[in-house]
């Protein structure tokens, strides 16, 4: 904005310079310009104008930032229609008990599995919540009838949610490794599903 005002003042000076060149000898131009702008440049009015322009510029910047934030929130609300993923800065905040529940499920289903395999188990929970074909909450997805065997066969009584697995949960919630995986099992792929990968003892599909 300051550059814009400086440019405007420069144009005014140039115009005045042209007039003075046509009307007076070159030697008198400097005196004419000095007398013309001396009082203006020494007043507080110009400083006030710059201050007002700076405040206006800051306000416009803040309003643009708010518009971008609103658009990002709208993008999240319509992610299915627009076929995009949630904006990371606006990922929902999950309570501690839900984070621990995902970590507990991951340990129960993938204890001893490679880190990548554990991440994919976490991704199954995340992707199901976002898919529209499963419940959309952590607890409902994990306790969905007949889905995760470890949640009803007593396996969770023999494992605990480790800090390392909980950290994996946080990382996957921020940036999901695989946005397609919806199912996994041991020994072989589910029939009739799209096969994605085999990691450790698990076969992942969608």
149 CB-near residues (< 8 Å, 6+ apart): 155
Residue 115 has which token pair? 């880190």
In the numeric block, which tokens belong to residue 62? 């803040």
The answer to whether the predicted template modeling score (pTM) of the entire model surpasses 0.85 is no
3-state SS assignment for residue 145: coil
Q: ∠ CA 162-167-173 to the nearest 5 degrees? A: 130
Give me the CATH topology for the region 91-205.
Arc Repressor Mutant, subunit A (1.10.10)
Going residue by residue through the chain, which has 206 residues, state the pLDDT in tens, using 9 for 90 and above. 545 445 555 555 455 444 444 444 555 555 555 555 555 555 555 666 667 767 777 776 666 555 444 444 444 444 444 344 444 444 568 899 999 999 999 999 999 999 999 999 999 999 999 999 999 999 999 999 999 999 999 999 999 999 999 999 999 999 999 999 999 999 999 999 999 999 999 999 99
**Is 24:32 a contact under the CB 8 Å cutoff?**
yes
């Amino acid at each position: 904005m300051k550059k814009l005002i400086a440019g405007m003042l420069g144009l005014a000076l140039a115009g005045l310079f042209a007039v003075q060149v046509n009307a007076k000898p070159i030697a008198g131009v400097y005196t004419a310009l000095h007398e013309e702008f001396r009082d203006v440049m020494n007043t507080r009015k110009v400083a006030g104008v710059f201050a007002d322009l700076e405040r206006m510029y800051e306000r416009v910047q803040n309003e643009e930032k708010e518009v971008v934030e609103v658009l990002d929130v709208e993008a999240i609300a319509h992610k299915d229609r627009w076929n995009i993923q949630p904006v990371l800065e606006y990922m929902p905040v999950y309570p501690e008990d839900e984070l621990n529940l995902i970590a507990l499920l991951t340990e129960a289903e993938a204890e001893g599995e490679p880190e990548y395999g554990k991440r994919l188990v976490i991704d199954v929970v995340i992707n199901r919540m976002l898919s529209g074909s499963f419940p959309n909450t952590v607890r409902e997805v994990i306790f969905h009838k007949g889905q995760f065997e470890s949640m009803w066969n007593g396996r969770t009584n023999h494992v605990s949610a480790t800090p390392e697995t909980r950290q994996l949960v946080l990382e996957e919630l921020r940036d999901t490794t695989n946005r397609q995986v919806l199912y996994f099992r041991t020994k072989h792929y589910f029939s009739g599903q799209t096969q994605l990968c085999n990691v450790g003892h698990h076969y992942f599909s969608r």
